[in-house]
Amino acid sequence: MTTFVLVHGAWHGAWAWARIVPLLHAAGARTLVPDLNTARDRGLHDDAAAVVAALDTVRADGELVLVGHSYAGLVVREAADARPAAVGHIVLVDGWAGPDGAGLFDLAPAAFVDAARAAAGSLGDGRLVPAPPPAAFGITDTADAAALTARLLPQPLRTFTEPTRLGGAVDRIPGTAVHCRPPTYPFDRFGEAVGYRAHGLDGPHDVLLTDPEPLARILLHARPSTDR
C-alpha cells in the first residue's frame, strides 16, 4: 500500500490537502498530513525536521511518496535527504527546488524577495510575512477566497531566508515536478534542474484546492515502483 506524506506550502496548513486526501483514500492509499505551523520563529530546517519526524512514524510495509506544495518543495527535499531509504518518490506541486545551500530567496526573483521583506517589515517585529490575498494563489471563487482568507497564517521570514542542507542522498530518489499552467514562477525548470520529470497541469498555484481530481490522478501514478 502506498502512503502519501502531503506537506503544505507557505501561509497554508494541513487543511490545504482536505480535497485531495479522500480521493487518495478512495484509491486505497494511506495519507499523512503534517502541519508545519508549530512555532512563530521557525525556519526551513525546523520544518524539514517536522517532516522527518512524520516519516519516522510510517510503517515500512509499503511505498512512500513525499509530496511538497510550493515552499514545501524545499522542505521535502531536505527531509528526504535525511531519510532516503524511507522515500520512494518525491512530487513537487508548483514547488521550489534547488541545490544544497539554496533557500527560497535565492531562487525567487528580486521582486518577490523585495515584496516579502517589505511585507514582513510592516508586521510587528519583522519576523513574519503576512499572507497575500487569495488571488495571489489563483483563487477567484468567492467562497473559496473567503475560506482561504480566514485560514491563511503569517509565514516566518526565516523559512524563506534559510538555505537548504542537502548531502546528496536526495538526488538518488526519483521525482516528479508538477507545474501549473499558466505559470507563476518557473517551477518546471526548478524541477528539471534537480532531475525530476516535469508534468504540466492546467490550474492555478493552489491547484490542490481548485482541481483536486486531476492532481490526485497524477499523485497516484507517481508510484516508486514505476521509476525504480
The CA distances from residue 108 to 98, 160, 204, in Å, are 11, 10, 18
Measure the CA angle with vertex 190, ends 168 and 173; round to 5°: 35
pLDDT of residue 224: 58
The CA distances from residue 205 to 50, 80, 104, 118, in Å, are 24, 23, 16, 22
Instruction: Tell me whether residue 92 is in a domain.
Output: yes
Instruction: Tell me whether residue 176 is in a domain.
Output: yes
pLDDT of residue 225: 47
**Cα–Cα dist 122/117, whole Å:** 9
pLDDT in tens, 140-182: 999 999 999 999 999 999 999 999 999 999 999 999 999 999 9
Domain residues for 46?
2-103+163-223
pLDDT of residue 183: 96
Measure the CA angle with vertex 106, ends 197 and 193; round to 5°: 20
Q: Which residues of the chain have pLDDT under 70?
A: 223-228
pLDDT of residue 227: 42
Instruction: Tell me whether residue 10 is in a domain.
Output: yes
Instruction: Tell me whether residue 26 is in a domain.
Output: yes
Residue 71 sits in a domain whose CATH number is: 3.40.50.1820
Instruction: Tell me whether residue 108 is in a domain.
Output: no
pTM of the model: 0.96
How many angstroms from the chain centroid is the CA of residue 87?
A: 15
pLDDT in tens, 53-65: 999 999 877 799 9
Number of domains the chain contains: 1
pLDDT of residue 124: 85
Instruction: Tell me whether residue 109 is in a domain.
Output: no
Instruction: Tell me whether residue 36 is in a domain.
Output: yes
Instruction: Tell me whether residue 123 is in a domain.
Output: no
pLDDT of residue 222: 84
